[in-house]
Amino acid sequence: MRRDGRVADSLLALLSRDWLGVPVAVLVVGVGVGLVGSRAAWAVVLGGLAMAVGALLAAGAARHLVLLARKARANPPPGRLVDVGGHRMHVLGEGEAGGGPTVVWMPGGHAPGAEFRELHTVLAGSSRSVLVDRLGTGWSDVGPFPRTTAGEAEELLAALEEAGERAPFVFVGHSFGGLLVANAARRRSDLVAGLVLLDPTPLEVVAFGPPNGQLAAMRRGFLLTAVRQLFGAHRGLADRVGQGCAAASAFAELSPSGLARVGWETVVYDGDLGDLPLVLAVPRDLTGGEAVLAAARDAAEAERISRFYLRSRVRYLAASTTARLVYTPEGTGHDFPREAPEFVVGVVEGLLRELRAACP
């Protein structure tokens, strides 16, 4: 199983090279030339087709590289690029701490820090606020494979140190980003003043939940997007191929078999965070999760699924003895940071006030 994983990681690392489309196209053209040279009627037809396909692939690969260069010139990194294990990570810090903790944001999925740019900008008016592009996102390098939560937690801490950001930190993470910052806090609780977890990913739903093909479909979507980018089959400005590859690698954890391999390093267990101040913000119901309930066989199973998800999403309360629960505004679902940004900023500012009062 691990050997298969190493092969997959090597293939993702190769696919993540934005220039890869050019040699692939040349190879296809070369095969076509070889077939035409054999002069057999069927080979000439197939060879001509291969040459035409190769020419299209070469044009698409060149388009991708041109658009990528154009995007890089038009969008220079707004923050600092710091060295983490031989790879560059982008860190944008703005605002003044004013004697209080520095807030570090981590959006969900495998998204760049810019996903929380609106929240960051608002908070930077009164506190030190930091956005970090994990490797494989935003302005950061793609980084090594596999991409794992445990590895990205270590990289996050290293990037903050290299960027000169000063502890203590308040980590704020949404969904998969919540799992990441909870892991970072577990590793270096001495650097962390508090956590705000925005409906963080509970790994019970991956390991023990009802069958759910959404995560696997998302991973396939990342890979398909990477291939389309590689050969220029996209509209507008290009994204780096490595972003889709990195996301696909990170999401490999989110399956029962993937979690079994990394569980000890990835799961934040009961009591792991000691008495670290923790605010858990979650929706009251499964608004936005109707597709999960729709898969139920009958009303009784739908009720069981609902109960399972609602109780799983509050499991992080057991990680700290000083954790507390806050419900998001009525009608909001898992995507509430986008739906109610003022609520999120208010929760973070409330924790900052408490921490400043406790340690003036």
Using omega within 30 degrees of 0 as the cis cutoff, is the peptide bond preceding 210 cis?
no
Decide: residue 233, CB within 10 A, 0-12 exposed, 13-18 middle, 19+ buried: middle
Q: Identity (one letter) of the amino acid at 90?
A: H
Yes or no: say if 360 and 315 are a contact pair by the CB < 8 Å rule: no
Q: Which fold has domain 80-203+267-358?
A: Rossmann fold (3.40.50)
Residues 6+ apart with CB under 8 A from 178: 106, 108, 197, 198, 199, 200, 201, 316
**Using a CB cutoff of 8 Å and minimum separation of 24, what contacts does 24-33 make?**
24/57, 24/61, 24/230, 25/54, 25/55, 25/57, 25/58, 25/60, 25/61, 25/231, 26/54, 26/58, 27/54, 28/53, 28/54, 28/57, 29/54, 29/55, 29/58, 30/54
Phi, psi for 189 (deg, rounded to 5): -65, -20
**pLDDT recorded at residue 97:** 86
Per-residue pLDDT of the chain (360 residues; tens, 9 = 90+): 456 678 888 999 999 999 999 999 999 999 999 999 988 999 999 999 999 999 999 999 999 999 999 999 999 999 999 999 999 999 999 999 888 999 999 999 999 999 999 999 999 999 999 999 999 999 999 999 999 999 999 999 999 999 999 999 999 999 999 999 999 999 999 999 999 999 999 999 888 988 778 888 899 999 999 999 999 987 766 789 999 999 999 999 988 888 999 999 999 999 999 999 999 999 999 888 778 888 888 999 989 989 999 999 999 999 999 999 999 999 999 999 999 999 999 999 999 999 998 876
Residue 138 DSSP code = T
pTM: 0.93
Within the chain, which residue ranges are assigned CATH 3.40.50.1820?
Answer: 80-203+267-358
Residue 271 DSSP code = T
How far CA 70 is from CA of 8, 22, 146, 263, 270, in Å, comes to: 31, 18, 29, 41, 48
| Pairing, β 192-198 against β 129-133 | unpaired
Residues 6+ apart with CB under 8 A from 162: 82, 83, 84, 89, 91
Element (H, E) at 326: strand 323-327
Q: Rounded to the nearest 5 degrees, what angle is found at the Cα of 316, between the Cα atoms of 287 and 209?
A: 55
How far CA 356 is from CA of 135, 193, 199, 322, 351, in Å, comes to: 32, 10, 25, 16, 9
The alpha carbon of 5 is separated from its chain's Cα centroid by a whole number of angstroms, namely 20
| Pairing, β 87-94 against β 129-133 | antiparallel
